[in-house]
């Protein structure tokens, strides 16, 4: 779990790998053992040729070959251990990442369109990190140990061979460095285009019903297809850069061999044997060439991909707060007091609430009404302790509101896959089954729990109104003494809404209803009317007399036929 | 072997763009041929250089290396081009198919899950082409290396062939196991993504409950399982490697020992000895394909996940055009939740659909515009069964607004013009959206994703979108439920004056009162079809609106 407030993907990766230091050290040890054939094969082969087969001594030749076999056997046993060790590093890393990402999303900003796009994107990013770190670790350890082993073997054969074969390798590495920036640029462009496709496709999947309703499946497919084509072009540009990189790989792979062949007469002239040349060729073709290919694939492919993906994940995981807010004991009463309350979403923006004052006694019932966009939901958030006012004061039971002691139900009710019991006791984990069933019946959700509390709840199968009933029952059973319903009954029919509100009125504690229908206001003890310019509060009779807006709102709601 | 839909999909992918698949295969085969020639030429060059020196052979060798490099480059350009084309095709197919599913079939998959299938699984499936081509190429190379061994000396080939069957058995064992492991992994991953989407949708409630940490734990309940599936596949790879790495050097050394014997007997040159070593190494390639098989297993698992979606039948399309008509809507023995519906809404009339939450209002509306096909009975528009209509004819005839508009792409103007690009502003004025839209940072050009829209404002954009389309049937599913009372009053005036046939699901008495007739659903089908005023005599009906509990005059 990420415990710092400003985490980055890179730091998380570093921390996760450091925590697996033991496995990494073991991995290095076994990798060194695994590279034994890369060190011994050419040398033993040269000896087998020079002292055995070319010297007319079959037994000596076979003994040296048995040495090669022994080296490979030891290497094979080592690889039996390296894979599970890689898994022991990679799988916990994926766990750490996934935990950090889920925490980052849950703590992060609310999304304008919660459509699953962000979920799919981060799942992909996490898998991408898993894949690329695997490739990097696997490739790097092979490159490092194989190259070192092969160079060691070559120099053990003869110093001259190193001078002939290693310069092209270094040239290749230098050229590769020059190609990196343009490759990185193109890779970034391809990733950005890919993210666009991801977002567009997710929006289209989420918007399926609307698209079907307007008969626009073909057009939307074509539009998202256009973004896919853009991604394809970006991929092609990247493929061209990768092809250029392969020339560099070839220089590092083939040139040492060619220069060995060209230099052979000179090497033989300096007293080297045919067996040594063959041994050197063994090192170059069997070990060094594959190692070079691995390196270039890694740094150009997985390395860049990893750095870009980690950068993007950083945006997600940095939202996790340093520590959970401390829990405070519940206040004994829940009288709500606001004094000159002011709040703006941006320091420079026009305040949504300005100098708002009101008081609800413990056990009271306040309805808040006003046109949409006037700051009613903002007030609900402040009452629930989910935001701090820019000016003035709001208190519940004499203290700043703490979300642990307020049950706030927003318009979008949250239900999750699980049993009805899990869903209903969400705000009160200790509640008994009898409490839960009573709460469900009280708010009108009785029919939903007829199948028992163990029945599974499938969010997709519930209507918006049924979801609200579940959320209402959950708030009803919660121990909170202050309940704030922010249009939490808007998907219910008026009769069901009235029943739910009545249940909350009879429940001990204070009730604040952000009213969706004027009827809600009529049920309250006290009404707070916000209209942007100013606020009125008072009883129904007072407001009708004092506020033309109130009269209009209530008048508009009343059925003209009655 | 019976072919599963997944295997069929893989075969279709390989043969989708045959010319390029063949080019890719030819490239891989040429690379294999050139790679095969390399040790022979290298042997000749070594022999020439150790016996006095011959730059002509060395020149040939350099030429072959150049050809190898060029083939590499060509392959690096062609392979991604071809794969990306295939991915594009698969993604378009998948997206197009999902968008043509019925609303119920679509609901079987979560958005996050579908997106993962579109983004990841398509690539896995398309990669089957280079995998197969590379596999055939490597078979050629290994087989060719075996032939080359035989050409150098038949005994070398025999020495190699002895160990082959053992290795084949190991590979078969591995592929049989890897595929279910991969599927397990992906399934757990999908369930984690599904729960995460759920939580993000209800994020405000989660925050209010202070339940962030609890929710994180809940989303991650599958993590240990994911961990186990991942670790299991690593352990399997390790086991395979042990077996493979033990068997292969044994064969190689057998070949080299045989070559050493013939070298000793003077039947082989030192160059040929080196070539034999190289060919033995190349022939190993035949058995050293753990990664290729792993990828192939992954491609099959990916194909299975695509096929799962693609085999769900899309809504059948009719071919008839809609004759001119007033927009008369008829339900003939249509099964609805709890009962049947038989009713007619005259052309140009406004019908309110009322009933308690869960009484089947949305279903009735979805049937009326063919977002759903009824299990029984027939829905007709101006006498033509909806299922006979061509999709464009149906789309032109019907316009919709929902409780929660789900697709608002691009700018506000794009979103409103989604149904029909003309008359965006006029529609926005009718839906009382014009005022708040003009207050947005870039007015109608503000991207919807950046616009801070409340639920009621989103609804009004959705309503504007519906009104922008000149349809003969307008279906509004609780489309103004989040709009404040004053605004709703204005909108209901506009709706009452609208010329189309209107089907309006509502909880509000004011809207029902303005309708020409009311369709009353009570969970057992249609309870009554009558004007609001007539139904008001019934207490059950009045109870729907809670009207009798509201003070009327103050």
Residue B542 — φ and ψ, nearest 5°? -60, -35
Angstrom CA distances, B267 to A50, A457, B146, stand at: 17, 80, 19
| Residues contacting A40, CB < 8 A, separation 6+ | A67, A68, A71, A153
Q: How confident is the model at residue B273, as a pLDDT?
A: 81
- Asked if B456's CB is within 8 angstroms of A80's CB, the reply is no
Mutate to test the interface with B, among A215, A447, A457, A551 (most CBs of B within 10 A): A215
Set of chain A residues whose Cβ sits within 8 Å of the Cβ of B248: 72
What is the pLDDT confidence band of residue A558, given thresholds at 50, 70 and 90?
very low
**ipTM for the whole complex:** 0.83
Which chain A residue is nearest to residue B222, measuring alpha carbons?
A95
Highest mean pLDDT pick, A345-349, A516-520, B446-450? B446-450
Query: Which whole number is the average pLDDT over A181-192?
Result: 85
Flag if A371 and B100 touch (Cβ within 8 Å): no
What are the backbone dihedrals phi and psi of residue B288, each rounded to the nearest 5 degrees, phi first?
-100, 55
Nearest-Cα distance to chain B for A355, in Å, is: 23
**Nearest chain B alpha carbon to A369:** B484
| Whole-number pLDDT of residue A237 | 93
Cα A164 vs. chain centroid, distance in angstroms? Answer: 50
- Give contacts of B484 with chain A, Cβ < 8 Å: 370-372, 553
Name residues whose C-beta falls within 8 Å of residue A139's C-beta, 6 or more positions apart in sequence: A294, A295, A297, A298, A302
Which chain A residue has the Cα nearest residue B468? A214
Q: Are A210 and B400 inside 8 Å of each other by CB?
A: yes
Which distant-in-sequence residues (6+ apart) come within 8 Å of B291 by Cβ?
none
Least Cα distance to A135 among A317, A301, A281 occurs for: A301
Query: A–B: how many Cβ contacts below 8 A?
Result: 507
Q: What is the mean pLDDT of residues A310-324?
A: 73
Q: Do A496 and B357 touch (CB under 8 A)?
A: yes
Asked if residue B474 lies in contact with residue B349, where contact means CB atoms within 8 angstroms, the answer is no
User: B246 or A12, which is more confident?
Assistant: A12
Looking at the DSSP bridge assignments, the partners of residue A336 are: A360, A396
Residue A458, pLDDT score: 85
Split at pLDDT 50, 70, 90, the class of A117 is: low
Please state the separation of Cα B547 from the chain's center in Å.
Answer: 48
Exposure b/e, B150-170, CB count within 10 A at least 16 = b: bebbebbbebbeebeeebeeb
> Is residue A384 scored above 90 in pLDDT?
no
| Mean pLDDT of all residues belonging to chain A | 84
Q: Is the pLDDT of residue A1 over 50?
A: no
User: Which of A94, A119, A275 has the CB atom closest to B193's CB atom?
Assistant: A119
Question: Which run of H or of E encompasses B178?
Answer: helix B164-201
- The pLDDT of residue B336 is 87
Interface test with A, best of B186, B208, B462 (most A CBs within 10 A): B208
Q: Out of B201, B261, B403, name the one closest to residue A114 (CB).
A: B201
Taking the C-alpha atoms of residue A253 and residue A165, their distance in angstroms, rounded to an integer, is 10
Which of A283, A382, A493, A555 to mutate to probe the B interface, most B CBs <10 Å?
A493
B378 CB-contact burial (10 Å; exposed 0-12 / middle 13-18 / buried 19+): middle
Please give, rounded to a whole number of angstroms, the shortest distance from the CA of B453 to a CA of chain A: 8
8 Å CB contact of A116 and B203 = no
**Over the stretch A427-485, which tens digit does the pLDDT of each residue have?**
888 999 999 999 999 999 989 888 889 998 888 788 888 999 999 999 999 999 999 99
Strand order, beta sheet including B526-530: B398-401, B473-477, B501-505, B350-354, B517-521, B526-530
Give the pLDDT confidence score for residue B172 in this predicted structure: 58
Q: Do A207 and B406 touch (CB under 8 A)?
A: yes
Task: Give the strand pairing for A535-538 and B350-354.
Answer: unpaired
Task: Name B246's Cβ contacts closer than 8 Å, sequence gap at least 6.
Answer: A73, A76, A77
C-beta neighbour count of B313 within 10 angstroms = 10
The residue-averaged pLDDT of A260-265 equals 89
The answer to whether B17 contacts chain A (CB < 8 Å) is no
Residues of chain B numbered 366-425 and touching chain A (CB < 8 Å): 369, 371, 391-392, 394-396, 398-400, 402-409, 418-419
Q: Name the minimum distance, in Å, from the CA of A486 to any CA of chain B.
A: 11
Q: Do A113 and B195 touch (CB under 8 A)?
A: no
**8 A C-beta contact, residue B480 and residue B334:** no
Closest by CA position to A417, among listed B383, B195, B1, B186: B195
Inspect the interface and report whether the beta carbons of B42 and A52 lie closer than 8 Å.
Answer: no
Angle between helical axes of A274-283 and B270-284 (0-180°, round to 10):
20
For chain A, say whether B436 makes contact (Cβ under 8 Å).
yes
pTM for this entry: 0.72
**pLDDT at residue A130 is higher than 50:** yes
CA distance between the termini of chain A = 60
pLDDT attached to residue B205: 84
Report the pLDDT value the prediction gives residue A561, as an integer from 0 to 100: 29
A229 pLDDT more than 90: yes
pLDDT on residue B550: 39
- In chain A, which residues have their Cβ closer than 8 Å to the Cβ of B112? 116-117, 119-120, 123, 202
Among A13-27, A122-136, A321-335, the range scoring the smallest mean pLDDT is: A321-335
DSSP B1: -
Low-confidence ranges of chain B (pLDDT < 70): 1-2, 53, 163-182, 243-248, 287-291, 452, 546-554
Rounded to 10 deg, the angle between the A21-34 and A58-107 helix axes is 160
Residue A119: predicted pLDDT? 74
Residues of B in Cβ contact (< 8 Å) with A209 = 103, 106, 371, 402, 406-407
Contact B268, B47 (CB under 8 A): no
The three state secondary structure string of B232-249 is: HHHHHHHHHHHHHHHHHH
Rg (CA), chain A: 35
């Amino acid at each position: 779990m990420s415990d710092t407030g400003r985490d980055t993907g890179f730091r998380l990766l570093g921390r996760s790998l450091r925590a697996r230091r033991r496995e990494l050290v073991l991995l290095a040890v076994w990798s060194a053992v695994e590279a034994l054939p890369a060190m011994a094969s050419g040398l033993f082969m040269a000896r087998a040729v020079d002292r055995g087969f070319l010297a007319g001594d079959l037994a000596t030749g076979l003994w040296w070959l048995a040495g090669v076999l022994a080296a490979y056997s030891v290497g094979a046993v080592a690889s039996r251990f390296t894979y599970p060790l890689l898994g022991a590093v990679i799988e916990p890393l994926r766990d750490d990442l996934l935990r950090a990402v889920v925490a980052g999303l849950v703590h992060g900003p609310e999304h304008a369109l919660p459509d699953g796009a962000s979920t799919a994107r981060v799942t992909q990013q996490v898998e991408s990190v898993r894949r690329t770190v695997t490739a990097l670790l696997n490739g790097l350890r092979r490159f490092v140990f194989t190259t070192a082993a092969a160079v060691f073997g070559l120099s053990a054969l003869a110093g001259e061979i190193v001078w002939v074969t290693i310069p092209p390798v270094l040239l290749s590495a230098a050229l590769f460095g020059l190609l990196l920036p343009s490759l990185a640029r193109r890779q970034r462009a391809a990733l950005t285009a890919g993210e666009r496709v991801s977002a567009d496709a997710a929006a289209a999947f989420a918007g399926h019903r609307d698209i079907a309703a307007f008969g626009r499946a073909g057009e939307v497919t074509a539009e998202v297809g256009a973004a896919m084509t853009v991604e394809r072009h970006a991929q092609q540009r990247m493929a061209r850069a990768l092809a250029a990189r392969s020339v560099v790989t070839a220089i590092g792979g083939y040139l040492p061999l060619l220069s060995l062949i060209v230099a052979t007469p000179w090497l033989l002239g300096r007293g080297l044997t045919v067996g040594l040349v063959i041994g050197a060729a063994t090192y170059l073709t069997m070990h060094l060439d594959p190692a070079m290919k691995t390196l270039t694939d890694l740094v150009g492919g997985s390395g860049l991909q990893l750095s870009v993906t980690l950068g993007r994940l950083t945006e997600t995981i940095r939202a996790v707060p340093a520590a959970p807010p401390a829990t405070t004991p519940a206040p004994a009463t829940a009288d709500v007091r606001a004094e000159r309350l002011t709040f703006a979403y941006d320091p420079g923006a026009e305040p949504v609430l300005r100098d708002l004052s009101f008081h609800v006694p413990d056990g009271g019932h306040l309805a808040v009404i006003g046109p949409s966009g006037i700051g009613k939901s903002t007030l609900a958030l402040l009452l629930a302790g989910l935001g701090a006012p820019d000016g003035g004061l709001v208190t519940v039971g004499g203290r700043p509101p703490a979300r642990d002691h307020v049950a706030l139900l927003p318009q979008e009710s949250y239900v999750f896959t699980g049993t009805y019991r899990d869903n209903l006791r969400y705000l009160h984990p200790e509640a008994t089954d009898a409490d839960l069933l009573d709460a469900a019946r009280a708010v009108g959700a009785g029919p939903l729990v007829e199948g028992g509390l163990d029945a599974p709840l499938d969010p997709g199968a519930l209507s918006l109104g049924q979801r609200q009933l579940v959320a209402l029952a959950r708030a009803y059973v919660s121990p909170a003494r202050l309940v704030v319903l922010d249009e939490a009954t808007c998907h219910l029919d008026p009769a069901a809404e009235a029943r739910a509100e009545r249940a909350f009125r009879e429940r001990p504690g204070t009730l604040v209803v952000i009213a969706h229908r004027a009827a809600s206001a009529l049920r309250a003890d006290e009404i707070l009317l916000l209209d942007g310019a100013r606020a009125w509060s008072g009883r129904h009779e007072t407001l009708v007399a004092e506020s033309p807006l109130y009269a209009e709102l209530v008048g508009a709601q009343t059925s003209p036929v009655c | 072997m019976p072919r599963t839909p997944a295997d069929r999909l893989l075969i279709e992918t390989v043969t989708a763009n045959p010319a390029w698949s063949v080019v890719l295969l030819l490239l891989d085969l040429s690379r294999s041929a050139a790679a095969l020639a390399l040790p022979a030429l290298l042997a000749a060059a070594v022999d020439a250089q150790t016996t006095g020196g011959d730059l002509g052979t060395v020149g040939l060798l350099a030429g072959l290396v150049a050809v190898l490099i060029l083939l590499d480059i060509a392959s690096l350009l062609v392979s991604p081009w071809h794969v990306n084309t295939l991915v594009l095709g698969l993604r378009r197919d998948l997206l197009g198919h999902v968008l043509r599913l019925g609303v119920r079939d679509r609901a079987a998959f979560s958005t996050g899950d579908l997106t993962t299938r579109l983004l990841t699984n398509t690539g896995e499936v398309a990669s089957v082409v280079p995998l197969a081509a590379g596999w055939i190429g490597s078979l050629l190379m290994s087989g060719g290396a075996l032939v080359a061994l035989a050409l150098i000396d038949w005994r070398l080939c025999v020495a190699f062939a002895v160990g082959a069957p053992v290795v084949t058995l190991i590979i078969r064992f591995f592929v049989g196991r890897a595929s279910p492991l991969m599927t397990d992994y992906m399934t757990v991953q999908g369930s984690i993504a599904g729960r995460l989407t759920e939580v993000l949708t209800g994020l405000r409630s989660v925050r209010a409950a202070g339940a962030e940490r609890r929710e994180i734990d809940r989303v991650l309940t599958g993590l240990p399982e994911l961990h186990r599936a991942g670790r299991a596949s690593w352990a399997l790879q390790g086991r395979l490697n042990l077996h493979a790495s033990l068997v292969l050097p044994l064969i190689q050394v057998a070949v080299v020992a045989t070559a050493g014997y013939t070298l000793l007997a003077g039947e082989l040159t030192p160059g040929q000895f080196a070539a034999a070593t190289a060919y033995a190494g190349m022939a190993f390639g035949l058995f050293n394909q753990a990664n290729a098989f792993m990828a192939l297993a992954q491609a099959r698992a990916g194909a299975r996940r695509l096929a799962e979606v693609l085999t769900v039948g899309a809504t059948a399309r009719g071919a008839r055009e809609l004759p001119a008509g007033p927009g008369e809507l008829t339900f003939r023995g249509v099964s609805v939740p709890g009962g049947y519906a038989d009713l007619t809404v005259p052309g140009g009339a406004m019908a309110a659909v009322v009933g308690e939450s869960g009484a089947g209002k949305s279903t009735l509306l979805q049937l009326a515009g063919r977002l759903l096909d009824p299990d029984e009975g027939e829905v007709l528009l101006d006498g033509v069964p909806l299922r006979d209509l061509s999709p464009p004819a149906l789309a032109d005839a019907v316009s919709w607004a929902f409780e929660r508009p789900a697709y608002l792409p691009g700018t506000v103007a794009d979103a409103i013009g989604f149904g029909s690009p003309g008359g965006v502003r006029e529609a926005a004025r009718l839906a009382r959206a014009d005022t708040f839209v003009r207050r947005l940072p870039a007015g109608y050009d503000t991207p919807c994703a950046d616009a801070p829209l409340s639920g009621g404002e989103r609804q009004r954009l959705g309503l504007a979108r519906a009104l922008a389309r000149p349809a003969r049937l307008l279906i509004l599913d609780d489309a103004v439920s989040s709009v404040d009372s004053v605004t709703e009053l204005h909108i209901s005036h506009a709706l009452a004056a609208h010329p189309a046939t209107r089907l309006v699901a509502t909880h509000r008495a004011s809207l029902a009162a303005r309708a020409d007739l009311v369709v009353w659903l009570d969970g057992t089908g249609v309870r009554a079809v009558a004007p609001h005023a007539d139904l008001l005599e019934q207490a059950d009906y009045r109870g729907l609106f809670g009207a009798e509990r509201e003070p009327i005059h103050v």
